[in-house]
Amino acid sequence: MDKELQRIADEVEMLSGKLKALKQEIGKVIIGQEETVSQLLITFLAGGHALLEGVPGLAKTLMIRTLANAIDLKFKRIQFTPDLMPSDIIGTEILEEDHTTGKKFFKFNKGPIFSNIILADEINRTPPKTQSALLEAMQEFEVTYGDKTYPLDKPFFILATQNPIEQSGTFVLPEAQQDRFLLYIKIGYPTQQEEETILKATTGSVKKKLNKVISGEDIIRLQQLVREVSISDALISFVSDVIRATRPETTTDSYVKDWVDWGAGPRAGQAMILTAKANALLEGRLAVTLQDIKSVALPVLRHRVLVNYRAEAEGITSDKVATHLLNAIELKGK
């Protein structure tokens, strides 16, 4: 048993080195935004999808493209527009002719969804009908067309971006689709020092060359190791207490009763534990701490806790609700 633990520890150390190298490669192009990059890597390790929100010019698209270029996986970018159709994403059948027999037949021509890393750029610019083309792929890792189902290559990630300030020509993502995203990541402005470095680095003639430092097999193995990271019963109870406290019908917290319409479901608890495990592994540890849970709680809950109209008018967001609960709920058995 000791030998097995040592083998896993050695493997974690080796793969952690590759994750550090991946961060360094991303850092060649992306200046600052370390928390956002870490949350993207957590999404990969936990085997989920991420929604990135930020105003134009914060390098959302560049960040995802840079991440994809440093990983030895197939990458496709889909620019979401109002006239985009579901077939533009999943593919369509085309009529072909067998030149030897002369018989005609339909052949499924696979769309860009058949890749490992998908950048769904400005996902809220396309109508819900087209957005829904992603739902089966995100949840089941497969695509159904007609009477046939086509499995997607693994690992498979959808990284979507959206602009929070422009309303004209955009469509709000349905709650069911938002829930498919493991993390909802908000990107803020850089610091003054970071911004000056960005201006210097991006207005010259030198272009950084990226190396592929980690493979798809490494990512799959890391996803398996995430499941093996240990978490105590006390921390699982803490996660459960937080999730249940977000629901107005089951909570005893007056803050939630006053400001929340709908709380988070069990999927939020699963997401919080998996991403906390991924955060621990990203830092080279094989056990979850309370800080791991608190560090992923906001991006896990911000799209799964819906505040009411009065809360919106008062500027009370789901982030504020989650922060309140993290501070109010105590860890049992400390």
Nearest to 34 by CA among 191, 178, 204, 207: 191
- The full set of domains in the chain, from first to last, is 18-83+114-202+214-228 (3.40.50.300), 229-333 (1.10.8.80)
Q: Would you say the C-alpha torsion 67, 70, 75, 77 has a positive or negative sign? A: positive
* pLDDT value, residue 259: 93
| 24 touches 16 (CB < 8 A) | no
* pLDDT value, residue 167: 61
Residue 75 CA from chain centroid, whole number: 16
DSSP H or E stretch at residue 293? helix 290-301
Distances (CA, A) of 6 to 11, 224, 310: 9, 17, 54
* pLDDT value, residue 8: 75
Distances (CA, A) of 60 to 57, 63, 155, 272, 324: 8, 5, 21, 23, 29
Per-residue pLDDT of the chain (334 residues; tens, 9 = 90+): 577 767 777 778 888 888 888 888 888 888 888 888 899 999 999 999 999 988 777 778 888 888 888 898 899 999 998 889 988 999 888 888 777 787 887 788 888 999 999 999 988 888 888 888 888 888 889 998 878 889 998 899 999 988 876 666 677 887 778 888 999 999 888 888 888 888 887 777 777 788 888 888 999 999 999 998 999 999 999 999 999 999 999 888 999 999 999 999 899 999 999 999 999 999 888 899 999 999 999 999 999 999 999 999 999 999 999 999 999 998 876 5
* pLDDT value, residue 164: 76
* pLDDT value, residue 1: 52
| 15 touches 225 (CB < 8 A) | yes
* Beta-strand pair 306-307/260-262: antiparallel
* pLDDT value, residue 114: 93
* pLDDT value, residue 166: 62
